[in-house]
Amino acid sequence: MNKKRLTIHIIIFFLFIAGVWGFTTHDAFLYQKDIAKITSVTDTYVKSKTGTDGIRDYEEKYYRQEISAVLLNGKSKGETVHFTNDYAQSEVYQIRLSKGDQVFLENLSEEDGSLTAALSGIKRDHWVLTLLAALFGLFLLVGGRHGILTIGSLVLNMIAFYFVLRLYLKGVNILVATIPMTIFFTAMLLFFMYGKDRKTRITFLATILTVLAVTAVAALVMLTGQVDYDFLDYLIQPYDPSDAAMIFLSEILVGCLGAVMDVVITIVMTVDQIAASGGDTSRKSLLASCREVGDDLVGTMIGLMLFTNIAACLPAFILFMRNGIAIRTILRYNVFFELARFLTGSIGIVLAIPISAAVAIHFYSRREVRS
């Protein structure tokens, strides 16, 4: 790509991002819920509370905001509405609002000639959709045709994921629905990346075998022991332990798929490149090459799994330690499932190396024998 063409593409990219941002900040007409844009905020100090996190004492200050905002949709569009927002200095449960923020409102009513309402939430779709547009734009800018195919696979996978959630809400076992979804995820991603190719078939088979092996190991451990699901996020209370177990197994099934697929693709590509370059394709030589590549992959990929799960539980860690809860208690109860997902994902990464190597070597060695 020449410099002039690259410059044009970059300009189009930023115009696209700006267009998405502009539209999503003025899309209140698409919502049924009342949306308002804050025009003025007055903060008032309410009280202070002291506490300890087991190491030091701290003081938490609480504030109330008197807010005026202009309604952006609904029958009262354009009128001024008044509401309040209570928040703490740490902003753990409720954040401080500022002029220009867009918020969702409920219980809109008129009192003494002025509109009042209750704060329902903060409108953040412009951030989410703009970042999503930036991601897709970078796919197109950097990847070209492959970027388009990647976007297509992501869209199809998101549709499949939504379909599985709808099935679960209708009473279908979540694990029964997740298994075919995982197969679909893998098939679509590999097909869009490599097309109908030998590498696609080998990678697909090795990925599915590895993921099923990891899920079987996790299921065996769960069946032979007792897992307390009280701290599993977003369970409907009271919950059914068997349903909670299926949800957790589904998390493991989907969670380890990405890391496993990365390892499998690398191992299969290694064998494919050796065979294409006319190198030594004996089983012993290919196995040695896969082992060397696997040694380089394991540390990096397990580190990736660790940091991903740390990111998921970091807010809980900070909040619990701030309230004086011991690290041992946090690890045992509050972040147990993140640790379990990290360990099972790491097992999947390790298992992916011999499984993918065995599958790839089998297919390529058989091809050499035939030729």
What lies within 8 Å, CB to CB, of 72 at 6+ separation is 28, 29, 35, 36, 37, 102
> If you average pLDDT over every residue of the chain, what do you get?
82
> Are the C-beta atoms of 206 and 361 separated by less than 8 Å?
no
27 pLDDT higher than 90? no
259 pLDDT higher than 90? no
The alpha-helical segments, DSSP class H, found in the chain are 3-24, 125-138, 145-169, 174-194, 198-224, 241-255, 257-276, 283-322, 327-329, 336-370
Q: Name the β-bridge partners of 38.
A: 69
| Rounded mean pLDDT, 14-28 | 87
Looking at residue 242, its pLDDT comes to: 80
Mean pLDDT lowest among 167-181, 191-205, 212-226, 316-330: 316-330
pLDDT higher for 300 or 68?
68
241 pLDDT higher than 80? no
Looking at residue 70, its pLDDT comes to: 92
pLDDT (tens digit per residue) in 318-341: 777 776 677 777 777 777 788 888
For residue 281, what pLDDT band results from cuts at 50, 70 and 90?
A: low
| Rounded mean pLDDT, 141-170 | 82
pLDDT higher for 302 or 236?
302
**Nearest in space to 34 (alpha carbons), one of 65, 67, 66, 79:** 79
pLDDT higher for 8 or 122?
122
Mean pLDDT lowest among 116-120, 234-238, 339-343: 234-238
The pTM assigned to this predicted structure is: 0.72
| Rounded mean pLDDT, 176-182 | 87
pLDDT higher for 240 or 62?
62
Looking at residue 93, its pLDDT comes to: 75
| Rounded mean pLDDT, 152-163 | 84
272 pLDDT higher than 80? yes
| Rounded mean pLDDT, 150-170 | 84
367 pLDDT higher than 60? no
Round to whole Å and give the CA distance between 81 and 70: 6
pLDDT higher for 233 or 363?
363
pLDDT (tens digit per residue) in 33-66: 889 999 999 999 988 887 766 666 778 889 999 9
345 pLDDT higher than 80? yes
Show the tokens assigned to 14. Answer: 């930023």
12 pLDDT higher than 50? yes
For residue 279, what pLDDT band results from cuts at 50, 70 and 90?
A: low
Share of the chain above pLDDT 90, in %: 8
Round to whole Å and give the CA distance between 301 and 307: 10
pLDDT higher for 51 or 174?
174
Report the number of secondary-structure helices (H) and strands (E) in the chain. 10, 5
3-state secondary structure of 114: strand
Q: What is the DSSP string of 284-297?
A: HHHHHHHHHHHHHH
Highest mean pLDDT: which range of 2-16, 225-239, 348-362 = 348-362
| Rounded mean pLDDT, 244-253 | 83
